[in-house]
């Protein structure tokens, strides 16, 4: 190697070492459609390469082959490339881009501005320290501007750049800039006193106030965008918080090694520290901190490690290892804030999957306490949440989890909501606190239990769940089955959809959300009756598979019998005993199953009754024969 090559290598090595120890800032660009996000990112990436090359200007020209090709990049082509991504459908993703300047490293979450992709913006914001909120100077503050500001604030971002872009298209008019800033401040003042806003007039296309001051805005004396991003203080709250590490997997390659692997969510852990595993609350001490590069004496938030413990502690994926002195809370009921991300509305009472860290658990979202109006930030009454709506509600999980409030430790208080059947992401949520009743209400054990009540009646409890279209004959067949069971000396009760809506469920309508709540309530009533040793005949349209599955899950194995009363829609409509189909066709009844609301037929019902082929008596006889074969009666 030539001498000057050796010097170049040393200089670059020194630069890379310094680069490795720079602080890292994560930020997100957001705002409405066509506010100039792609152009801004293109300009920042291009100009940052200029800065990077200026840092190496003293090196030999052939150092260019070692990664300093900034001058070979055409800015217009770079911006066109980013715009092409939008046209190719990449708007449904979050593009994370990395670049560096002399003072700091950056990761930018490039998110789309379209309203239907708000979910992607929220994903990018969930890990960001700073939000760059773009506003087109010609259009001013829009609803999407307010929505993105509200969501980024709710997700914990407290530093926001109000980037008033395209100032060149309004002749760099200071009055336009001042008016936009004043309008946004009037809105942002309602978000919270801890939000720091830095308004900057920009032209991303021409580079005004991106890396340095612009002569076109001589009236502006604040920092350029890059100056702000290089100097804004980042409070790494994760490192100062108590130690938390969600267990991602249990590492046991042989009988001599058992470790718990995961990424440290917050705090610091050292060899010898006393820890507690949650929710089991077992205590031990850290024996080793293992990494791919060897053992450590200490590890901090953001590092992925494997911990071995001094004691044999039973812990699994989704559990949390925490400092024993200040462990997280454990609960199964919470007040939460939810951003709904699906075109299908929230159905309170429906079972969803909740992903919290590495933990997956089933649970339900209850009816919202209120939704938040994005424009006024006022609380509005709500029975459900639609796409991009933000509301406050409560959730109930099927098992307890370890958590911290989202505002204290993001990674321990954030979750996503997933549809159990389609695996689609439906929403994201932030835990505020555990409900007090979660720890104050306990199951009361009774001396006369369900087994004793069943033996007293000389029968096995069961829930016979009749489902089918309106007019299919569910109630008629259920009534006939009950008469025969009664004649056999069996103890029964019929829960009929129309009858229940006269009392227990009289407050419910026929929207999808109300139908879900209707079935949730009746499922729990049916379970209580089965606990009393009864054979319960439930006759409800119950149009959704998810709710019928929820009802099945409440019962003991073998006690739930799904009976599909299979009648074609045209036949049910012909019968129209109650005149409901006629009204639905005329538009007088909304959300009518089979007309403008779907019916999801069972895929594996225990019994299917085809009413075109069998009479009521034959159908009842077939059901009784099946029950006898299964030794239920």
Residue 326 DSSP one-character state? S
- Tell me whether strands 196-201 and 159-165 are parallel, antiparallel or unpaired: parallel
3-class secondary-structure state, position 509: coil
Long-range contacts of 436-443 (CB under 8 A, 24+ apart): 437/333, 438/331, 438/332, 438/333, 438/334, 439/331
For 426, the 3-state DSSP assignment is strand
Residues 58-87 as b/e (b if ≥16 CB within 10 A, e otherwise) read ebeeebeeeebebeeeebeebbeebeeebe
Answer yes or no: are the C-beta atoms of 532 and 450 closer than 8 Å: yes
Cβ contact 398:339 at 8 Å: no
Q: Of 32, 203, 542, 619, which residue is the catalytic one?
A: 542
Which secondary structure element, helix H or strand E, spans residue 475, and what is its range? helix 474-487
CA distance 269 to 291: 14
**Do the Cβ atoms of 472 and 567 come closer than 8 Å?**
yes
> Residues 361, 399: contact at Cβ < 8 Å?
yes
Question: Residues for the chain: how many in total?
Answer: 633
Residues 6+ apart with CB under 8 A from 90: none
Separation between Cα atoms, residue 412 and residue 322, nearest integer Å: 11
Do the Cβ atoms of 436 and 539 come closer than 8 Å? no
Cis peptide bond N-terminal to 462, omega within 30: no
Partners of 296 in the beta sheet?
Answer: 289
The rounded radius of gyration (Å) of the Cα atoms in the chain is 31
262/358 Cα distance (integer angstroms): 9
Q: Is 470 a catalytic residue?
A: no
User: Which positions are catalytic?
Assistant: 542
């Amino acid at each position: 190697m030539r001498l000057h090559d050796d010097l170049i290598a040393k200089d670059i090595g020194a630069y890379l070492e310094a680069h490795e120890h720079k602080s890292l800032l994560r930020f997100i660009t957001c705002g409405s459609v066509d506010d100039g996000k792609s152009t801004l990112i293109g300009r920042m990436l291009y100009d940052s390469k200029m800065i990077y090359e200026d840092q190496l200007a003293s090196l030999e020209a052939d150092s260019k082959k070692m990664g300093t090709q900034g001058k070979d990049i055409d800015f217009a082509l770079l911006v066109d490339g980013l715009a092409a991504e939008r046209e190719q459908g990449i708007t449904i993703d979050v593009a994370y881009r990395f670049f560096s300047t002399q003072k700091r490293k950056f990761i930018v979450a490039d998110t789309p501005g379209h309203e239907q992709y708000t979910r992607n913006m929220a994903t990018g914001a969930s890990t960001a320290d700073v939000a760059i909120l773009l506003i087109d100077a010609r259009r001013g503050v829009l609803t999407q501007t307010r929505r993105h500001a509200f969501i980024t604030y709710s997700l914990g971002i407290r530093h926001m750049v109000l980037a008033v872009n395209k100032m060149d298209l309004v002749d760099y008019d200071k009055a336009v800039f001042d008016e936009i800033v004043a309008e946004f401040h009037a809105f942002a003042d309602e978000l919270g006193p801890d939000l720091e806003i830095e308004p900057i007039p920009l032209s991303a296309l021409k580079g005004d106030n991106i890396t340095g001051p612009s002569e076109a805005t001589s009236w502006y004396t604040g920092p350029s965008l890059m100056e702000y991003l290089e100097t804004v203080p980042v409070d790494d709250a994760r490192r100062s918080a108590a130690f938390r590490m969600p267990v991602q997997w249990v590492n046991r390659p042989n009988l001599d090694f058992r470790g718990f692997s995961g990424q440290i969510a917050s705090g610091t852990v050292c060899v010898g520290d006393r820890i507690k595993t949650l929710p089991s609350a077992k205590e031990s001490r850290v024996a080793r901190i293992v990494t791919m590069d060897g053992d450590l004496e200490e590890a901090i938030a953001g590092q992925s490690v494997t911990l071995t413990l001094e004691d044999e502690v039973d812990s699994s994926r989704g559990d949390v290892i925490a400092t024993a002195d200040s462990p997280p809370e454990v609960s199964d009921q919470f007040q939460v804030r939810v951003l709904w991300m699906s075109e299908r509305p929230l159905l309170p009472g429906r079972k969803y999957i909740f992903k919290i860290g590495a933990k997956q658990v089933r649970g339900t979202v209850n009816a919202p306490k209120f939704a938040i109006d994005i424009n006024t930030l006022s609380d509005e009454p709500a029975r459900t949440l639609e796409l991009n709506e933000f509301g406050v509600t409560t959730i109930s999980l099927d098992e307890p989890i370890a958590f911290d409030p989202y505002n204290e430790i993001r990674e321990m208080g954030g979750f996503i909501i997933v549809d159990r059947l389609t695996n689609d992401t439906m929403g994201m949520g932030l835990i505020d606190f555990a409900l007090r009743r979660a720890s104050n209400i306990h199951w009361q054990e009774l001396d006369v239990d369900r087994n004793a009540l069943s033996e007293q009646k000389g029968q096995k409890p069961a829930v016979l769940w009749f489902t089918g279209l309106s007019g299919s004959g569910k109630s008629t067949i259920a009534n006939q089955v009950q008469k025969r069971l009664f004649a056999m000396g069996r103890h029964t009760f019929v829960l009929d959809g129309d009858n229940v809506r006269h009392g227990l469920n009289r407050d419910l309508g026929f929207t999808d959300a109300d139908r879900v709540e209707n079935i949730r309530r009746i499922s729990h009533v049916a379970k209580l009756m089965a606990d009393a040793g009864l054979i319960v005949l439930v006759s409800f349209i119950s149009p959704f598979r998810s709710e019928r599955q929820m009802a099945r899950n409440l019962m003991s194995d073998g006690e739930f019998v799904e009976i599909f009363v299979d009648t074609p829609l045209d036949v049910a409509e012909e019968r129209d005993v109650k005149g409901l189909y006629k009204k639905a066709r005329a538009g007088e009844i909304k959300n009518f199953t089979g007309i403008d609301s779907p019916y999801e037929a069972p895929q594996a019902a225990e019994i299917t009754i085809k009413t075109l082929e069998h009479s009521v008596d034959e159908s009842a006889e077939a059901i009784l024969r099946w029950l006898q074969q299964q030794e239920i009666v």
